[in-house]
Structure 1
């Protein structure tokens, strides 16, 4: 899920209509471009984890709080407010109206090379985790192309901060065609698929029901903070072949009858999973109350498939969507920026947040350090996290 504030189109009967766009509101009321934990800066130049996302999404707020309990210093950058006035050390705005002050030193002959100065604080990134989608534009930038250039520049910076850190998350973001081809090459079953601009080509696929989805991201940003998406849908084959061409390539897949749908989170080798039951592919957005979610162990064959694909694609984090069908594992797709807080809330657990915090802490402690030796990890992580591990 990208956020709770969704506006859904409805038919005359008042029920959501499949195949029509939905709008998500990712605008944030927060005036702060950055959040520091701890708020003070006791050791200038010391390693710190960088988390970059939109503040309207809740994953990194929960992760930052968990890392703080584990003693890991972090800075959370709201990518949608990078041009906003920076916050002071007391958490309030400084009153300046320029963009977030930022300087990166890249001088191989200097001991300061690789240091990042942000909002007046100097540190060395140990882990950089950036989640998409980045903003389409940043309001308030001067000139006709200013909002787009500003957003593109901040997105480029966030994407390239990884060169400063020993560890970067989530890893490469392969497109859906590359994912399907890679899974098939690894011996993992995938739905029979065509990509076409002509719905009539779907007649070549088996079955009376077919799944239709877009080729790239489900959502595009039509205005700052407003994302409009075309969501996957199940369509009768005869109805689909009669549709007029959409004017762009789309994915059409066979509908796979299955016993169980899984959302499996891969976290640097660790796995957390949820069993998901929903009446339609887009029900998470259109009818969340009709979706059932429960935490579940990962079946061995599914675990082997996820670990194999994550290794092949160089992923440190990914949200894998799988089906279990008559003993087979069927790969649908993986989202390297997949949300997890909605699934946790529905299942009554914080297991993914705890696993993510443990993963980031381990990466942070493995980074070169100028301070004292790291504390003992393992079980201590979960004791410090408290209810985050529940």
Structure 2
């Protein structure tokens, strides 16, 4: 089976992890700060906070922006559920903005229309989470302009997009957002096995996320508060204080060491993915398929390569094959296609909140005709040719 994505681990990565196993620190040592510095160096962001998952990083980002009960978080329906769940963790209410039917990212025009209505109803969002689907940045300049007009904060969910660019700047630089989130799951561009990070240019947000990442505990005497009945001067270096209700969202030294090693190959990872994506574009140009559309001012990191079945008036054009049949037949031929994503608002948990099929038609249409083809660093031309040959066989192209 040719998988839709997988990690690329070399001997340097293995040696880096083994070195940590032989060191004095398996957690809370020097590797996490070193990994955070590689993210800062790559993105030009001021601060990076590494976490045990991107979901944890999203949660910390929401808390740092003081999202809470009675507030609204808006995101796109075409994403993994974590992009919305992070708001629920904070007690906020969730709503969605339909996608651009060409880029599949959150649509700025749909966002503006929704904001106009929300302002009239006094239901403006406190936080908007644009998701850089497949590795291509959203139109962040337009979204940021709306944030200035309507007063919401922005968390870029760039789980797919490390190594991507927008307006000739690296995704994560924070030019148009408050916080950016990366994921380092094994199928992502860079992996730490499990892991994530939050990047920001605002020290107050970084400090808040660092505090909450580790139980809300500090050993920084400058942050400590007087405790009634306790002689603070008598407290030694063992002393710490819990200032807030935090979490154990720390990344281990093992994960961070792997990340430091992987980041040395980020540019090559992205370059190889871009080559494979462009090769798909050429090989599939004459197929009865919709190929990924790329913005002129964005340079995708190509985490995913998503095709769409062409549809005219509700009927399949040229090919009568259904999405389900195409998926199953390609799997039977050893092609590990997948589908990213089921619209979040159609999930039973969100249906219980009142969302219904029909709420976000562009997102639902995308789901009915999308399919992710295999794309990963280390994929050979021969493997890619096998994917294309299987498509020819199944589609009859």
Q: TM-score range by the shorter chain?
A: under 0.3
Structure 1 length-normalised TM: 0.21
Q: What is the TM-score normalised by the length of structure 2? A: 0.21
| Higher relative contact order, chain-length normalized (CA < 8 Å, sep 6+) | 2
